[in-house]
A and B are shown apart, each in its own frame.
Chain A
Amino acid sequence: KNEVEQSPQNLTAQEGEFITINCSYSVGISALHWLQQHPGGGIVSLFMLSSGKKKHGRLIATINIQEKHSSLHITASHPRDSAVYICAAPETSGSRLTFGEGTQLTVNP
């Protein structure tokens, strides 16, 4: 069973700061998901990555498969980035996801 750990649990930043959220998992996988959950509860897929780095706007996700570690970075953070960020790892490709606890990010103006 894959164990997924995230840090930090809570993060408060000032607008414009560079944010890093970390995720580690216990079982080797082929890819990892980063998700965003807004206060209303809906979940949005941000990235699915299997190696290296992916960038979408101000969001950057990196993964090191050998070290079983991934990071999500937000550059020039903005209050609208305030949300819960969750990493999730599959047991095998395409199968059930195991979710981390989530990181509650609050960006203050």
Chain B
Amino acid sequence: EPEVTQTPSHQVTQMGQEVILRCVPISNHLYFYWYRQILGQKVEFLVSFYNNEISEKSEIFDDQFSVERPDGSNFTLKIRSTKLEDSAMYFCAILRGWTQYFGPGTRLLVL
């Protein structure tokens, strides 16, 4: 059974629209991560979230991005006004012990 699932699996949106990507762990975790992978490139860190607060963010994670844990279990990544270059695979991960376990990803396409 996977540690974490993500919804939606695919999303197509128009440039300028807001999208919300969801990460659903199977049990309570305190440490979450969001990563993204632009097609043909390596996976990049976006943000880590510990105990309901951002603990670290990369230079990619600018004001158009936000994360929250709206109901104490699900973990969301919001992109306020999508750009073409936001097209990528977005992965969330949870930390159990010292190992990060990845969700299956959301493939986002911005047109």
Chain A residues proximal to chain B, CB less than 8 Å: 30-31, 33, 35, 41-45, 48, 50, 86, 88, 93-102
Q: What's the minimum C-beta distance from B94 to chain A, rounded to whole angstroms?
A: 11
Chain B residues proximal to chain A, CB less than 8 Å: 31, 33, 35, 37, 42-45, 48, 56, 58, 89, 91, 95, 98-102, 104-105, 107
Verify B100–A45 contact, CB threshold 8 A. Answer: yes
Chain B contacts for A50, CB-based, 8 A: 98
> How far, in angstroms, from A45 to B98 measured CA to CA in the complex?
12
Q: What's the minimum C-beta distance from B25 to chain A, rounded to whole angstroms?
A: 15
Verify B31–A45 contact, CB threshold 8 A. Answer: no
> How far, in angstroms, from A98 to B42 measured CA to CA in the complex?
9
List the A residue with the shortest CB-CB distance to B104: A42
